[in-house]
Amino acid sequence: MAQRRHTPDQILAKLRDAEERGNPALKRLVARQALDNQVLKDIAEGNS
């Protein structure tokens, strides 16, 4: 049987690290999209 390279705790720690690094980028992306949507809505209201 092959020897495992990482323990389950090590894998979980790596996954948590990746999630923490990814969340701020995702939040910025969502905020930017919300701002773009608001700008487009404001422009559309001005054209009516």
State what percent of residues in the chain have pLDDT above 90. 58
Higher pLDDT, 24 or 47: 24
Rama region for 46: left / alpha / beta (φ>0; ψ in -120 to 50; rest): alpha
Average pLDDT, integer, range 24-30: 91
pTM greater than the 0.85 cutoff: no
| Distances from the Cα of 25 to the Cα of 15, 18, 30, angstroms | 16, 11, 9
N-to-C CA span, the chain? 70
Compute the distance between CA of residue 33 and CA of residue 36 in angstroms, rounded to an integer. Answer: 5
